[in-house]
Amino acid sequence: MGSGVLSALLADAGLRDDPSLGLVMGEVPLRDIVDRTGTPTYVYHAAIIRERFTALDAAFGDLPHRICYAVKANGNLAVLRLLSKMGAGADIVSGGELLRALAAGFSPDRIVFSGVGKTDEELIAALTVGVGHVNVESLAELRRLAMLAELQGARVTVGIRVNPDVTADTHPYISTGKGGLKFGVPTDQLDEALAILDEASHLTLGSLAMHIGSQITDPTPWVKGLERLCELLAVARAAGHAPTTLDIGGGLGIRYRDETPLTPAAWITPLIPMLRESGCTVQVEPGRYLVGSAGVLLTRVVHRKHSGGREIAIVDAGMNDLLRPSLYQAWHEIVPVQRTPGEEQATDIVGPVCETGDFLALERPLAPVAAGGAVAVLGAGAYAFAMSSNYNTRARPAEVLVDGDRWAVVRPRERLTDLFRDEIADPFAQTEAP
């Protein structure tokens, strides 16, 4: 990787490479966190999250807007609290995320509940606390919500998330706006959805919504999707409904390798004429853009080996800690926490999990890092810890927040004994005959 791209990646994370201190986040040397907290450990940079939120907020100018952070990207309470204090709302997709958002201080009326498979229990929880919007994604869900709202005696503001049938140039697993997928109400079913709302005494149509995918670096799909959304807005208004919000989702990409990500202004500017003409408040639901570049995963080399002509560095973070490389073949730049002299060598950086697919990077140029040395995996603030697991009975990593010259553990490393604390080894012992 060229030095210019690496410099940009480090700058995106608010990192600098000090000749004597190694990688420094804010005013905190990462080696201090390694030494005191151990590895694997996720570290998040508060200043970068604030910087990203402020830039996105400013891009809208005087256009009425709401920024609802996609909790699924990184649900750590310290990250959520930081964004709540900045004025963000929350975009959630489960009952668990609802509890997290409330615990972090988000006001219920600034929460939008999305997701394709909400259970009755989750919908009732949303009705009980009074979330701002429930975004429905199918006619069946809309009918269930109408019934539950009537039974609960609750008034509900509904968003209809439509599928605009727009294809975004991204990984197929994170493309959500194409026809035939599980996401959203097909546009040819909008009339039926409006008819259901006409009969539902406790539901009000507050928004039309879309989400076309994630890690997108070209504004064109949003332009096409918004054109379709505005057409559907006219249909809804002609049918007697008055939605006040257009929800264009999230998906703004970041730099993982050599991408040229959109700035917030480059994303929003082509959309502003249509948004102004609509007369609606615009709602966006970024996740990765706000937190992705702000996080790193620290991991130590356990040992090195040479096999089949390949140089292999086995580290103590595996696919259970960071799934994206194994799941998406995603690229995360990996750099030593402390530089040492020597030439870079093509290296497989693999984890300890008992799977051949357990790797963080393959044939990656890596400066010499001996056993016990630490490396930082960049771009690990989004869909990283959030997708971690206990596979191989491995404890999930600690999480740390850095703010200026201060840092704190905001989620302790799991204890191995806690992983099976609630399991019952012999469930029938008390019922067996003597």
In 3D space, the residue among 95, 99, 70, 66 whose CA is nearest the CA of residue 211 turns out to be 70
Distances (CA, A) of 120 to 149, 240, 315: 11, 29, 43
Torsion of CA 294, 76, 98, 53, to 10 degrees: -20
Neighbouring C-beta atoms of residue 91, cutoff 10 Å:
30
Q: State how beta strands 41-45 and 28-29 pair.
A: unpaired
Distance of CA 369 to the CA centre of its chain: 30
65 close to 281: Cβ distance less than 8 angstroms: yes
User: Rounded to an integer, what distance in angstroms lies between the CA atom of residue 52 and that of residue 71?
Assistant: 16
In the 8-state DSSP scheme, what is residue 358? -
Angle of helix 46-59 versus helix 77-86 axis, rounded to 10:
40
Angle of helix 120-129 versus helix 139-152 axis, rounded to 10:
50
DSSP codes, 72-105: GG---HHHHHHHHHHT-EEEE-SHHHHHHHHHTT
Distances (CA, A) of 236 to 108, 143, 165, 232, 285: 26, 18, 19, 6, 23
Query: Annotated active-site positions, please?
Result: 354
Which residue has tokens 């030494």? 35
- Contacts for 381 with CB less than 8 Å, ≥ 6 apart: 42, 44, 73, 74, 291, 292, 293, 294, 295, 296
Both tokens assigned to 325: 């490389």
Q: Where are the alpha helices (DSSP H) in 154-284?
A: 190-199, 220-238, 264-268, 272-278
User: Rounded to an integer, what distance in angstroms lies between the CA atom of residue 96 and that of residue 77?
Assistant: 12
